[in-house]
Amino acid sequence: MTSVKEQYVIVGAGPVGMYMACLLSKEGYEVVVFEQREDMRGTELQHGRSINLSLSTRGIEALMKINAETQAVSEGMPMSARFVHRCDGTTYTMQYGTNGESLISVDRRQLNELLLNIAEQEYGVKVHFQHKLIKCDFENGEIVFERSSDGTQIPVKIDMIFGCDGAHSTVRKEMMRCGRFDYCQTYSKHGYIELIMPAKEGHKPVLEEDFLHIWPKCQFMLIALPNKDKSYTGTFFIPFETWDQLKTKEDILNFWDNHFRETIPLIGKDRIVEAVMNKEPLPLITIKCNRYHLGNNCVLLGDAAHAMLPFYGQGVNCGFEDCEIFHEMMKKYNGDFSLILPEFSRTRNPDAKAICDLSEMNYLEMSSKVNCKWFCFRKKVERFLHFVLPWFYIPLYQMVAFSRIPYSDVLKKQQRQNKIIDGILMAGYGITGAVVIIGSFIVYKYVNSHLCTITCLI
C-alpha cells in the first residue's frame, strides 16, 4: 500500500468514475467522488438511463482488477452472435467471436450500482451525491461544487482531478478555457429511444436467447438485448427527420407495420405508440479532443475524453481500459503526474480516436450491410482465413471486442486485411471468370468439331 496524503477528486459517479475510484483506493490513495445526481440506488429509473451495455474483453478484464467481473457477468446475459432479421423476412445468425466468445449484456444501472457498492463498502470511498462541479481553478488547485439541496457553493482543494463526468463534461469545458485545447463534437443524425419487450407468460423469452437481435432497415434500425428476467431491451435508432414525420397514432402504427411488423406482438401496439408519442429521441454524440490532461493536476477519462456512437458497444469498455492504462502509468512513473499526464494523452489519444471512427463505421454494417448476402459471404471468407492462418488474419470484431490489441493498431491492421480480402475475392472472381471462358471455349471447340464430323457423315 502506498501511503499518500494527496487528495484525489473524481468528478462523476458513472461507471468510469466509480471504477477509477476503486482502482485508486485499492492502492491506498485517498479518493473522494462528487456526483451531481442523487444516489441512483434509491431512485426511480430515468428515461434514457436504462440502456443495456455489452461488456467485452476489455471491460471484463478491467473488472477483474477489482474482483467485480464474476458478479457483473453473472448478472448479465451472454450474447454469442447477432441474430439478423433481414428485410426480406429471412433470418440468420453471425457469430461474434472466432473461438465461441460471447458479449455480456448488462444493465448499465446495475453495473453502476455494483461499482458504487464495491467502492463504498470494500474500499471505503466517500461519494458526495447532489454536488455539481461548477468551476475549476487548476492553477491554484481549487474546484467549486454546488450542493443541489440548498445551492451552497463548496470549494474543494485538490491535488489531482479526474474528470469522469461524461460526454457533456464540465471539467473538459473548464480545461478548454485554459487555451490550446482542440475539441470536436459531432451529433449523429440519429437519435434513440428504448422499448421493452416483456417476457411471455410463464417467464419465457420472446426471442431466441443468447443473441443480440437486429432488424436492419438502412436508415433506421431496431436492436434488442436480453435481460436476466427474459425480457429484452429494444433500442430504436431513427434519424430525427424521420421521427418528426411520426405525428399521429396512425403514422406510428403504419410506420411500424411497414418496417418492424414481426415485433408488434413482442412489444405491443400501445407500448409502441406510447414510446414514440411521449418521448423525444435522445441524441448521440461523438467527442474527440487532442489531449486529455492539463498541467500536472487534471485528466479526462471515459466519455468525458472520447464519447463515441454506441454501434461497437465499446464506450464503457474503452473507459475502463483508460483507467487501467492510467493506473499502470501511475505505477510505472511512481505517481509523478508531470510524466504520467503527457504520456497518457500521447498514447491514448490515437486509440480513442480509432474506436470513435470504428464505432461510426459500424452503423453501416449493422443497419445495412448485414442484409446483403455478399457481405455474409465475405465474413465467411474472413473466418476461414482466420481458421487456417490465425496469426495472419484476425476478423475486425474479434480484435475490437475479444482482444486487447490497441484500437489504433486494430484500425491499421484492418485496413491491411481489407486489401488482402479484396485481393482474394478479386482473384477468386478472376479465376472463376477464366474457368468459365476456357470451359466455354473447350465446349465450343468440341461441339464444333463433332458437328463437322456429323455434317461430313451426312
Q: Which stretches of the chain bind ligand FAD, using CB under 6 A?
A: 11-17, 34-37, 51, 53-54, 108, 132-133, 164-166, 170, 192, 235, 302-304, 310, 313-317, 319
| Nearest-approach distance from CB 363 to ligand FAD, in angstroms | 12
| Nearest-approach distance from CB 315 to ligand FAD, in angstroms | 2
Q: Which is nearer to ligand FAD, 58 or 230 (CB)?
A: 58
| Nearest-approach distance from CB 70 to ligand FAD, in angstroms | 19
| Nearest-approach distance from CB 318 to ligand FAD, in angstroms | 7
Q: Which is nearer to ligand FAD, 134 or 264 (CB)?
A: 134
Q: Which is nearer to ligand FAD, 403 or 424 (CB)?
A: 403
Which run of H or E residues covers position 413?
helix 407-457
Which run of H or E residues covers position 409?
helix 407-457
Q: Which is nearer to ligand FAD, 143 or 252 (CB)?
A: 143
| Nearest-approach distance from CB 355 to ligand FAD, in angstroms | 10
Distance CA 239, CA 208 (A): 28
| Nearest-approach distance from CB 420 to ligand FAD, in angstroms | 29
Distance CA 250, CA 18 (A): 45
| Nearest-approach distance from CB 222 to ligand FAD, in angstroms | 12
Contact 143, 46 (CB under 8 A): no
Contact 281, 192 (CB under 8 A): yes
Distance CA 157, CA 137 (A): 10
Q: Which is nearer to ligand FAD, 66 or 385 (CB)?
A: 66
Helix (H/G/I), strand (E/B), else coil: 108: helix
Beta strands in 280-379 (DSSP E): 282-289, 293-294, 298-300
Contact 171, 177 (CB under 8 A): no
Length of the chain: 458
303 backbone φψ class: left, alpha, beta (φ>0; ψ -120 to 50): alpha
Pairing of strands 81-85, 211-217: parallel
Q: Which is nearer to ligand FAD, 12 or 395 (CB)?
A: 12
> Which string of b and e fits 107-142 if b means at least 16 CB within 10 Å?
bbbbbbbbbbebbbeebebebebbbbbeebebeebe
Q: Which is nearer to ligand FAD, 123 or 192 (CB)?
A: 192
Q: Which is nearer to ligand FAD, 266 or 400 (CB)?
A: 400
| Nearest-approach distance from CB 16 to ligand FAD, in angstroms | 3
